[in-house]
A and B are shown apart, each in its own frame.
Chain A
Amino acid sequence: MTHPRLSRATFAVSVVIVLLTILAVARATKALDPNLWQLLELPLVDGARNTIILSLTIIPLGLGIGFTVGWARFSRHPIISWPATLYVDFIRGVPPLVLILFAFFWIPSLFAGASFESGLAFAAFALAMHTGAYQAEIFRAGFQAVARGQIEAGEAVGLSKGQVMANVILPQTFRVTLPALGNEFALVIKDSSLLSIVGATDLAYWGKQSELGLLRLGSIEWVMLAWLIIALVYFVVTYMVTQAVGAVEQSYRVPGIGSVAF
């Protein structure tokens, strides 16, 4: 159990440590040159914005896929559960980078007049499918964590199947899966950097783009500093998301329902 005040303290300490490190590097390399900031400011703002947009698109998509596939995996009908199992097994066995390249280069070629943007959309969707496979396993475990007897008890008081789902299964699945889902969201934010390979102008993309200019203007330390700043932005975004999930978890906490610490 993480105490809210303790979390804030950890956060403050982490930020201070990272900032101190950056300052130390900057001082050691005399990097506080106005040229550096000129070179970094626009890409950083643009990149951070795009990273956040990508994450906020992929996370809900992945959540939708994960919930649906997880529910299908939980189903007792093989016609429903079998394709879901195939999906999870396949996607988990392929590196997300390969999925992205496949989605970017191959899928758009099936459609006439496909654009770069559509390729990028497919690539983002590939990442959603990837996290969806992992989230499906989280949801399946979450559904299975609801004791069969409680479903029976819900039916025994006269609830319909839909009411049992809404009032007995989902509230418990939600509580059990939340910590693991928060973990998965954090992975998505960082995995979204893979989309820079196919030209998404996110933080990682701008980091890569700035390297040459920074080298010409300064030194390898400048490049390192740029990546350090980018890492810090990833850290802050991820931290905010995991803290938000933690806060939701805290407010729905019920004694006796599995809270997996992470």
Chain B
Amino acid sequence: MIRVEGLHKWFGSLHVLKGVSLSVEKGDVLVVVGPSGSGKSTLLRCINLLVTPDKGSVFIEGVKVNAPKIRPEWVRQQVGMVFQQFNLFSHLTALENVTLGLRKVMGLSREQAEKKGKELLERVGLGEKYDSYPAELSGGQQQRVAIARAVAMDPKAVLFDEPTSALDPEYIKEVLDVITQLARDGMTMVVVSHEMGFARNVAKRVVFMDDGRIIEEGTPEEVLVNPRQERTKAFVAKVLE
């Protein structure tokens, strides 16, 4: 479904990704862990072309997407994204946040978009809140709206960039529950997260990144419980502390 080959990215003289390769099968959940600054976010942003890779290839269902002929807008429709800071459009209600893309990108009528938007908000447990503005919602509620917004475009996969890191502890579970449910429904996902419980329960595979490289890759058990590499061991020990 998603394949990344030999990906490099420089920001100025900073070499952020140093040849990253990975692949995610349809319906699988890949969790990416690693210290901050290791390139996890950049990797996600290269997959939906929010950041343009300097070298290497990204394939979505076999199609090379970092190619001149491919419109980035099209790629982003195929691969949804959920951000650490939610990034809801603050001048729009929860429902309008979900329907904006449906109407402007997919060309749905207002009625069709609102019907679908309400169903999705219902699914993330916010059926009542469709008329609220982001400022009137808790962090957990905002992130659930953001998930509904990403899923609304019927993407082939969804990328999560530390979806619970900016949340107060009491809201983490409600967001993880929604993501878990989405995984159980068969959504292909790449999740940057340090939630070890989530990774162990939901991830099919886990990769550990450090300094722009994938250091270790395997099942959650292999990477998070019995890591082989020293750097992975040190990181896991620190996170579990």
Bitwise, B79-108 to A at CB < 8 A (1) or not (0) is 011010101111100000000110011000
CA distance A154 to B80 in the complex (A): 11
Judge if B77 is at the interface, Cβ distance under 8 Å: yes
The distance in angstroms between the C-alpha atoms of A236 and B208, with both chains bound, is 68
Query: Inside 8 A of B76's CB, which chain A residues have their CB?
Result: 155-158
Establish whether residues B48 and A157, one from each chain, have CB atoms under 8 Å apart when the complex forms. Answer: no
CA distance A256 to B74 in the complex (A): 32
Within 8 A of B (CB), among A66-100: none
Q: Is the interface of A mostly helix, strand, loop or mixed?
A: helix
Q: Do the beta carbons of A175 and B81 come within 8 Å of each other?
A: no
* Docked complex: A44-76 residues within 8 A CB-CB of B: none
Q: How far is the CA of A175 from the CA of B135 in the complex (A)?
A: 15
**Interface code A158-195, partner B: CB below 8 Å = 1, 0 otherwise?**
11100100011001100100000000000000000000
- Asked if A147 meets B101 with Cβ closer than 8 Å, knowing A156-B50, A157-B150, the reply is no
Interface size of A by Cβ–Cβ distance < 8 Å? 22
Closest chain-A Cβ to B20's Cβ sits at a distance in Å of: 20
Q: Check A157 against B100 for contact (C-beta < 8 Å).
A: yes
By a CB distance below 8 angstroms, the chain A residues around B88 are 150, 153
Give chain A nearest CB distance to B116 CB in angstroms.
14
Q: List 15 A-B contacts (CB under 8 A).
A: A147-B85, A147-B87, A149-B83, A149-B85, A152-B87, A153-B146, A156-B50, A156-B76, A156-B83, A158-B73, A159-B73, A160-B73, A167-B100, A254-B91, A254-B135
Q: What residues make up the interface of B, taking CB atoms closer than 8 Å to A?
A: 48, 50, 72-74, 76-77, 80-81, 83, 85, 87-91, 100-101, 104-105, 133-136, 146, 149-150, 152-153
8 closest A-B pairs by CB: A256-B135, A157-B101, A153-B87, A149-B87, A158-B77, A158-B105, A156-B81, A158-B76
